[in-house]
Amino acid sequence: MLPIQLIPYFQYTVKAVIGSLFFGLSYWQRGQRGFYGASLEVDPESFVTSWLIRVWLGSVLLGFRRAHGELRKVFNLDKIRTSEPWGEVGVYFSAFGLGQNLEGSSLLMDLLYRYSRETGQFLFGIPSQYRDALRL
């Protein structure tokens, strides 16, 4: 099994993905649409593009939605509404106590470890052993 701080089939760590999403969320909260502003905030040598941030937003939301039932055992997720993606991910971050720029990165790692321990799954991404089950 991969280390918990990685996402199956992602080249970047969970912390890098979530950190980039915090940049995108802050731009969205200031009224900017799209993902370009967030891509400018990350280290230019990381080669993170606006398209990649868009993919990450979808993957992270899919993980949160898939895990919602398990996560609500520990966190108050009553304010979560499936709506605008940035708004939804922002409410999840807030429910988990994550601060801007991953001030609560230990909270993020605790969340990942807890979810993985309870379910035997990754919170984000789909490992190879489960990919065949998704094919029709």
pLDDT digits (tens, 9 = 90+) for 40-95: 888 778 788 888 899 999 999 999 999 999 999 999 999 998 889 999 999 999 99
Angstrom distance (rounded) from CA 87 to CA 128: 30
Model confidence band, residue 2 (pLDDT cutoffs 50, 70, 90):
low
**Spacing of C-alpha 118 from chain mean position:** 18
Full-model pTM: 0.84
